[in-house]
Chains A and B, each alone.
Chain A
Amino acid sequence: MLSASDLRKGLKVQIDGNPYVVIDFEFSKPGKGQALYRCKMRNMISGNQLVQTYRSNDKFEKPDLEERKMQYLYNGGGEYHFMDTENFDQMFITTEQLGENKSFLVDNMEVDMLFFEGQAIDITMPMFVYLNVTTADPWAKGDTSGNDTKPVTVETGYELQVPPFVEEGDKIQIDTRTGAYVTRVKE
């Protein structure tokens, strides 16, 4: 059990059967009054935010959370299959659960998957991924239109803006947190 005095930013607690992470926290105690712990929390499954004030004698369950390293295998019919790199267990998650991460997922990629009571609820991608450019307009030398980026598509189908010198077949580095181009990679 966790008590209100354990509350701090980043702590994970279970409320009404859902795992929450504390994203903002403030201790207050009006003169001679009782200690109050005002927390902003995010539901780790739905993403909904909750603001709640707790008192010292409030108690919390620790959520049953586990992070495992998983390797991406293949996508079949909207089901993305992964394998646990330690015990080789296989499981899949849906396109919906994967969310924006599907733009950066390539075969054999290793990700950190967060499980709540045995169910995958979140995926942490590597900070940077390296993807091949599959379609790009050629760079018209002497183009003086002033555009310093152009759109390209990478192997996952994801579209992004890159500098004009990036060509089809190039490998580029992408920041998965922002989805933005970082640099071109020499093979």
Chain B
Amino acid sequence: MASLRSFFAGRGFLEVDTPIRQPVLIPERYIEPLRSEGAYLQTSPELCMKRLLASGCAKIFQICPCFRKNEQGRRHLEEFTMLEWYHSGESYLKLMADCEELLRFVQQQFILQSDLHGYTRSFFAGFDFESAWERLTVESAFQKYSPCSVKEALADNSFDEILVEYVEPELGKKTPTFLLNYPLELGSLAKAKATEPDTVERFELYLGGIELANGFSELTDAAEQRLRFEEEIVDIKRTWGQDITMPDVFLRDIENIKVAAGIALGVDRLFMLALGAEDIADVVSFSPADLV
């Protein structure tokens, strides 16, 4: 944790702290929040952090707990730790460069710390951070690994299944992989590419088949964002039967952001990969099962 903080502090980022319990969330159809006395526990600090960007903060980061209902598995905990950082005036390309620097820095720091404490071990064993990291568009990843194209997968609503079954296991085997340029419908808060309006400037960072971070160039057109949220809200109502409030204050504020990029990285998963743990429960101080 200290090495993550020192990475950002050393690069002129301001550490921020925003409320975990919030009355309104960003509507996302596949992320279900936990309720807390008439409000919600945050599923990510994105909403508040973007409002800080809008108020004039240029480079901010936060390490905080996030909650997502019913997400439990070898790579999921309902309560987990997120690292998010935002750059104003930058695009997702800058975030990818940040990721490369961050992981190399963390690896070195971990080794240094273990040496200092008198035990020497390797971290991120089996992975190569030094060679050029793989960059693969969603389109070409599907061509390479999937039995069907992205278009076909989206058409029969099997994109997620195919991604999990055929594509993800192939990613980040040696160097980490950036899977980038997602179809427009899979980047609700991301900016469309100027040259290809059907794709958004979004990427996911994979290591050992595990999704570690999700970053994108922020959509700052409030009218466009409102339209995309309306679609999500209709979809949530249809799928889950829940009424979601439009985050109006957020939409008002993002008008003030000109160009920005932001990313969320799962800290527990970073530790899993660093230590070669098979189960996310092995890298937290207390897993849900440890508490009862």
Question: Which A residues form the contact surface with B (CB < 8 A)?
Answer: 5, 26-36, 38, 53, 56-57
Contact = CB atoms under 8 A, between A and B. Distances in A.
A27 B211 contact: no
B186 interface: yes
Contacts of A32: 28, 30-31, 186-188, 214
Contacts of B29: 34
Contact of A30 (B28, B72, B74, B211): B211
Given A35-B30, A57-B239, A30 B70 contact: no
Interface string B123-164: 000000000000000000000000000000000000111011
Contact of A27 (B28, B76, B161, B163): B76
Contacts of B159: 33
B84 interface: no
Contacts of B188: 32
Interface string B10-30: 000000000000000000111
A27 B164 contact: no
B75 interface: yes
Given A27-B76, A29-B30, A35 B168 contact: no
Contacts of A53: 161, 164-165
Nearest to B167: A30
Contacts of A30: 160, 163-164, 168, 211
Contact of B73 (A27, A56, A57): A27
Nearest to B188: A32
A32 B46 CA distance: 13
Contacts of B70: 5, 35, 56
Most chain B CB within a 10 A radius of its CB, from A26, A28, A34, A56: A28
Contacts of B30: 29, 32-35
A36 B160 contact: yes
Contacts of B76: 27, 29
B218 interface: no
A28 B211 CA distance: 10
Interface of B: 28-31, 70-76, 159-161, 163-165, 168, 186-188, 204, 211, 214, 239
B133 to A, nearest CB: 18
Nearest first, the 8 A-B pairs at minimum CB distance are A27-B73, A33-B160, A31-B214, A34-B30, A30-B163, A31-B204, A5-B70, A28-B164
B204 A36 contact: no
A42 B29 CA distance: 32
B183 to A, nearest CB: 12
Nearest to B162: A30
29 contacts: A26-B73, A26-B74, A27-B71, A27-B73, A27-B74, A28-B75, A28-B164, A29-B30, A29-B76, A30-B160, A30-B163, A30-B168, A32-B28, A32-B30, A32-B186, A32-B214, A33-B30, A33-B160, A33-B186, A34-B30, A34-B160, A35-B70, A35-B71, A36-B160, A36-B164, A38-B164, A53-B161, A56-B70, A57-B239
B237 to A, nearest CB: 14
A31 B202 CA distance: 11
Nearest to B168: A30
Contacts of A36: 160-161, 164
Contacts of A26: 73-74
Contacts of A5: 70
A31 B266 CA distance: 11
Contacts of A27: 71-76
Nearest to B213: A31
Nearest to B161: A53
Contacts of A29: 30, 71, 76
A129 B76 CA distance: 44
A57 B240 CA distance: 9
B209 to A, nearest CB: 10
Contacts of B28: 32
A153 B241 CA distance: 66
A60 to B, nearest CB: 16
Contacts of B75: 27-28
A53 B163 CA distance: 13
A167 B52 CA distance: 85
Most chain B CB within a 10 A radius of its CB, from A5, A27, A35: A35
A26 B187 CA distance: 25
A159 B256 CA distance: 83
Contacts of A56: 70
Nearest to B239: A57
